[in-house]
Every structure is written in C-alpha cells, then in structure tokens.
Amino acid sequence: MRIIKIDLSQDFSEAINEAVKVLSYGGTIVYPTDTVYGFGANALEEISIRKIFNIKQRSFAKPLPMMVRNIKWARELANINEKNDRILSKIWPGPITAVLPKKDLVPSVLTAGQDTVGMRVADSFFVDELLKNFGYPLVSTSANLSGHESTRYPEDIIDTFENTTLKPNLIIDAGVLPESEPSTVLDLTGPHPRILRVGPSRPEDLMKLLEI
C-alpha cells in the first residue's frame, strides 16, 4: 500500500501518472473527490471491480456507482433520453449521482446484476485530470469498510487498511478535504426524477432546479 502526499493547489501530475499506472494494470487506488475520499478502479474491468468489493468487504448484491468525466462519457455508458440529458447538464459537475439505464458496456458485477447504473461528474480538477489521463470511468465508492462512515481524513483510511489483509495499491493523500456530505442520489429511470438519498443538495432546491 503505497502513499503519495499531494497539495491540491500545487502540481500533482506525478501523482496522476502513478495513479494511472496502477489503474492500468488493474490495481486499486484511494483518491480525493469533491466530497470524501473514494476508492477507484477501472469501472469497465470486472476483475478490478471485484477487487474494490473485496477490499471494502462489500456484498456483491449491492451495486457500486462510477465516476465519469462529463456527459459525453455518460452517453457512451448509459441510455440517456433528451429530457435526462437536459437534467444532467444542470446537476453536473457536482455532488449528485444520477441513476440511469445502463448499456451493455457496463459490467453487471458493478451494478449487482441490475440494468441501471449510478454515475456522477465530480466538481474537482484533480478528478477531471485523473479521468482525462486514464481514459476510463472509475468505480467510485467511499474509501471505507462497508458499513463504516465515509471520511475526509486520509489518516482514517491509512489506519483502517494497514490492519486489513486486502489493501488498495495506492493512496493519494491530499490532506483533510473540505467538509461535505456524500452525494445526493437521483433516480432518472422513471417518468419523473426521484431522490433516493439526500446529500448536500436540499431536496426542494434540487427539484426546483430540475423543473424543465
């Protein structure tokens, strides 16, 4: 378990390069997002996805979301109608995960066999650079053991996984992240948007935003 410390206000290209190397050989990383620290792996590679489930000690019956770079990427991975395309343009980038009908390109292990997939675009220059350089979407789930709290503190993650058999290959330590909550989850698979989990966005404000 290698640890690289970075300053998000400085040049972090070396950390990006190392992360891409790890991801490219099917490895797993912990990386800073615009909410909390997340696990990352190639979201289109079944072996890599299974590694995240195992490291996190998460049931394979529970789907994992993915991080995409932009709406263009999302269109390649999910069936997005014109209405949902307009909604996504309003809520992304930001802390809102959209649940959409998946395309066959998305492995069923990621979605626990369901025909939908959760995805979001982070409001983070670091994440954008990571995705741009890697070229594939990432599994995106909080970097913790299943059932435990997500965290903004890299020390919590390091302490946890120093004592487990399965560990991420690389941890990118950007210090304590700004206070935030897990992302809101918005179901766009039905005739009307439906909030499945409330995060930083107030439900009434979000639904007002979605009026089209």
CA distance 79 to 137: 16
pTM for this predicted structure: 0.91
CA distance from start to end of the chain: 47
Confidence at 208, pLDDT banded by 50, 70, 90:
low
CA distance 40 to 30: 6
Largest CA distance in the chain: 50
Confidence at 105, pLDDT banded by 50, 70, 90:
very high
**Nearest of 11, 159, 188 to residue 91 by alpha carbon:** 188
Looking at residue 196, its pLDDT comes to 79
CA distance 160 to 52: 15
